[in-house]
Amino acid sequence: MLKRSLTEDAQEVFRAIALIELGARMQVLESELTLSRDRMIRLYREVKGVSPPKGMLPFSADWYMTWLANIHASLFYNTYLFLKNEARCSHLDALTKGYRLYLEHCRHSETEAVLDLTRAWTLVRFFDADILQLTKCCRCTGKFVAHKHDLQHNVVCGACQPPSRAGKTKKAAAARQQALGAAQVAQAA
pLDDT digits (tens, 9 = 90+) for 77-133: 999 999 999 999 999 999 999 999 999 999 999 899 999 999 999 999 999 999 999
Comparing CA positions, the residue from 109, 131, 12, 141 lying closest to residue 60 is 131
Tell me the binding residues for Zn(2+): 137, 140, 157, 160
Is pLDDT of 186 > 80?
Answer: no
pLDDT digits (tens, 9 = 90+) for 1-51: 457 788 888 999 999 999 999 999 999 999 999 999 999 999 999 999 999
Is pLDDT of 171 > 90?
Answer: no
CA distances 75 to 69, 92, 99, 158, Å, are: 10, 18, 10, 12
**What was the pLDDT predicted at 13?**
94
* pTM of the full structure: 0.82
**What was the pLDDT predicted at 54?**
86
- Angle at which helix 6-21 crosses helix 91-108, to 10 degrees, equals 30
**What was the pLDDT predicted at 15?**
94
SS3 146: strand
Given a contact cutoff of 8 angstroms between Cβ atoms, the answer to whether 11 and 33 are in contact is: no
CA distance 116 to 120: 6
Q: What is the mean pLDDT of the chain?
A: 88
* Residue 93 Rama label (left phi>0; alpha psi -120 to 50; beta): alpha
Cα Rg for the chain, rounded, in angstroms? 20
Given a contact cutoff of 8 angstroms between Cβ atoms, the answer to whether 19 and 32 are in contact is: yes
**What was the pLDDT predicted at 168?**
64
CA distances 140 to 10, 14, 30, 79, 160, Å, are: 45, 39, 39, 17, 7
Tell me the binding residues: 137, 140, 157, 160
CA distance 97 to 103: 10
Q: What is the DSSP letter of 87?
A: S
Q: Which H or E run contains 126?
A: helix 117-128
